[in-house]
Amino acid sequence: MHLPAIEQSTRVSEIFSSLQGEGLYIGQRHLFIRFEGCHLHCQYCDESEKPAIMMSLDGVMAKAIQMDQANGPHQYVSLTGGEPLMNLTFIKPLMMRLKEARFRVFLETNGVLWQALREVVEWCDCIAMDMKLASVTGERSFKIEHEQFLRVAKSRDVFIKMVISRGVDVEEFEDLVRIVAEVDATRPVILMPVSSQCEGHEDPGLMQILESMQRIGSRFVPDIRIIPRLHKILKIP
């Protein structure tokens, strides 16, 4: 039988304890493992400049356990990036080891690599998936990939995050919310203002757009909320 290669080391940007800054579980203490690298190039991304070091599976586990003892308890270990699913052969055994150590696994992902998700979904307790709007990211549309991703992810506790900017295309937004409604309308959708110094609070125009998107989206999915990023407001990592 052919077994997939297990990557025993990968590039990790940081491992740290902090408050979850985005989405449905905002404000909870999470232990973050941030992986280097992403296959997308969102125009608002602030992750690309973070330096990374090579770390082994044992090294990541040892650091996670040590940080949990020093700063825990943590509600979840959040695998984040970059795009953690690009490190499939590393995160698969890592997730298994985290579960063995009784951590709960939270996957933060851009919601595109659905084939990779299929390989690890059973070890995810919660999935925070992005739905990327081309009109906001400057990237191509990932509508088809997002739909496939949500179909795989819906076997777990999953919610959807969408970053909204002044350039948002309403039709594109409606298309994405309609996909959520078709796959599983009960999943929460979180709208976030595109990152700025104080999360759009000094931009009333953007806040009006967000409110209008919330109203439009609520015709398709009942649980759609506007939640700004906590770590930008509190100025924490």
Applying CB under 6 A, the residues found at the interface with ligand SF4 are 38, 40-42, 45, 47, 81-83, 110
Q: CB of 137: closest distance to ligand SF4 in angstroms?
A: 6
Q: CB of 128: closest distance to ligand SF4 in angstroms?
A: 12
Nearer to ligand SF4, 23 or 61 (CB): 23
Nearer to ligand SF4, 38 or 55 (CB): 38
Measured between its terminal Cα atoms, the distance across the chain in Å is 44
Q: CB of 111: closest distance to ligand SF4 in angstroms?
A: 9
In total, the chain counts a number of residues equal to 237
Nearer to ligand SF4, 27 or 138 (CB): 138
Residue 161 CA from chain centroid, whole number: 8
Contact between 107 and 130 under an 8 Å Cβ cutoff? The reply is no
Return the bridge partners of 189, or none: 160, 224
Nearer to ligand SF4, 74 or 161 (CB): 161
Contact between 175 and 142 under an 8 Å Cβ cutoff? The reply is no
Question: Two tokens at 112?
Answer: 């595109």
Q: What angle do CA 213, 175, 142 make, to 5 degrees?
A: 110
Q: At what angle do helices 204-217 and 170-184 cross, to 10 degrees?
A: 40
Neighbouring residues of 3: CB distance < 8 A, sequence distance ≥ 6: none
Q: CB of 1: closest distance to ligand SF4 in angstroms?
A: 35
Nearer to ligand SF4, 39 or 215 (CB): 39
Q: CB of 84: closest distance to ligand SF4 in angstroms?
A: 10
